[in-house]
Amino acid sequence: MNPVVAQTGGQAGIDWAWIGRNSGYIGEQFVEHLLLTALPLLFGFVIAFALSLAAVRWPRLYSPLLSVTGVLFTIPSLALFVILLGFTGLSIWTAVIPLTIYTLLILVRNIVEGFRGVPPEVRDAAEAMGFRRPRQIVRVELPLALPVIFAGLRIATVTTVGLVTISALVGQGGLGQLFLDGYSRRFPTPLLVALALSVALAVAADLLLLAIQRALTPWTTKEA
Amino acid sequence: MGILTEIIAWFADPGNWEGANGVPARAVEHLWYSAASFAIALIIAVPVGLWVGHTDRGGTVAVNVANVGRAVPSFGIIVLMFVYFGLGFAPVLVALVAFAVPPMLTNTYTGVRDVDPEVRDSAEGMGMRGGQVLWHVEVPVAMPLIMAGVRTSAIQVVATATLAAVVGLGGFGRYIINGFAVQDYPQMVGGAVLVAVLALLVEGVLAFLQRLVVSDGVAGESAEIVAKARSQLRPAASTSS
């Protein structure tokens, strides 16, 4: 059906020798991918946490906050990368800023829902015990909100791992570079390697976050 | 503000509005890619989601398939389809459909599944049969979430259709890919702005449509439901939902 594949001598299978020769390069792109995933999640979480605390304190802010982050979420990632390119050039920020923006909708929603899910009795009890507001948030409400917050973090993480690949189209590193290599040479091996690594990274990060959540909230696993 | 004037100049240039590489022609291509894949995905996802939700059979499988889908980068699949099947719309269409199905499927399924059992029981108590319960009770009650899934899929399709240009097809992505190749920044931003505007338009039209098809009694806070739908899918490794 497709003569292009045949011309380059590539088969449908994996060229293991190519992987061996390029393991250093693959490793570099993988590390870059990790960085481009971790930074937006870190920044996104800090920003979303602050916004969410404000939305919990002033509930009227919540709906507009979701609308604004929802509109930002609607803008296609490639479009945002391109627009950023004019301001931040080929620096890492061209990928990090849009990816941070995309985490906000998911994180804000889950952090706020997490705090909202704290039973009012618990809040009353904490108040009656003499907790001041900031300490009550950290010591009482945050632990109870953690499972929902972590659910959001996991979704944001898996989403970000996938979105990072697109930033290769505006000159960023990461596993998307291997997609471009596979494209320009009509060669499936880099594509299959990058797809496998990207899915593996998403699953590994997801499991890691799940393990951290279970360690932080041991009471949730006892019921399950 | 040199960049800004260059971008405005790009939009103002009549040459960019004519011929096969003009904005109208690229808009038609982009809309065609999006509409075709969205329609096919809708025809697959909604009936399956309704059936799975109504019978509550195969729900875990459906959600897990959707979850794995979220972890797979669409960009990689589009290029892989190209490398295996060559230049053409069909390989890209398959990839676009594959990524448009999960949000609609999961939200339709969870929407129907989570209908209050008492509401379902009372419908049955009134003598409704399975099909009637589905169409007259479950679908209207689940409609906010179904529509939220539809909106999520639609904007995702519009965004992903941009990548068709990477593998030699048209659409607004052409301006981004061509512009990047020759470092023509105004052209790239032109494409980016067009894609972003299209995505926001689609979102706006569907949000309006949602108001028409969702009964007032179950409408709820639109922004909250959409946010819920967009953070609905659990990541791949989780099987707890």
| In chain A, residues 72-101 whose CB comes closer than 8 Å to chain B | 73-80, 82-83, 85-86
Chain mean pLDDT for chain A: 91
Is B99 within 8 Å of chain A by CB? no
- Binary contact (A66, B231; C-beta < 8 A): no
ipTM: 0.88
User: Would the pLDDT of A224 be above 50?
Assistant: no
- Is the pLDDT at B17 greater than 60, yes or no? yes
* pLDDT given for residue B225 in this prediction: 76
**From the candidates B70, B75, B205, which should be mutated to test the interface with A, based on the most A CB atoms within 10 A?**
B75
Mind telling me how many Å the CA of A88 is from chain B's nearest CA? 13
Rounded to the nearest angstrom, the minimum Cα separation between B124 and chain A is 32
**Is the CB of B238 inside 8 Å of chain A's CB atoms?**
yes
C-alpha A165/C-alpha A172 separation (Å) is 9
pLDDT, one tens digit per residue, over A91-131 is 999 999 999 999 999 999 999 999 999 999 999 999 999 99
Domains and CATH numbers, chain A: 24-217 (1.10.3720.10)
Which B residues in the span 148-187 are in contact with A, Cβ-Cβ below 8 Å? 155, 158-159, 162-163, 166-167, 173, 176-177, 180, 185
Contact yes or no for B106/B41 (Cβ under 8 A): no
- Intra-chain end-to-end CA distance of chain B, in Å: 51
Of A62, A106, A183, the CB nearest to B167: A183
B92-124 burial by CB neighbour count: b if 16+ within 10 A, else e?
bbebbbbbbbbbbbbbbbbbbbebeeeebeebe
Residue B237 pLDDT > 50: no
Question: Domain spanning B21-230: which CATH class is it, in words?
Answer: mainly alpha
The answer for A130, left when phi > 0, alpha when psi is -120 to 50, beta otherwise, is: left
Cα-Cα-Cα-Cα torsion A8, A12, A13, A16, nearest 10 degrees, comes to 20
Read off the pLDDT of residues A144-198 as tens digits, 9 standing for 90 and up. Answer: 999 999 999 999 999 999 999 999 999 999 999 999 999 999 999 999 999 999 9
Instruction: Give the whole-angstrom CA distance, residue A43 versus residue A116.
Output: 23
Mean local confidence (pLDDT), B5-21: 92
Buried b (16+ CB within 10 A) or exposed e, B185-219: bbbbbbbbbbbbebbbebbeebbeebeeebeeeee
Question: What is the helix (H) or strand (E) element at residue A78, kind and residue range?
Answer: helix A77-88
pLDDT recorded at residue B1: 58
- State how far Cα A74 lies from the chain centre: 16
Give me the residue from A154, A183, A187 closest to B238, CB to CB: A154
pLDDT, residue B240, reads 35
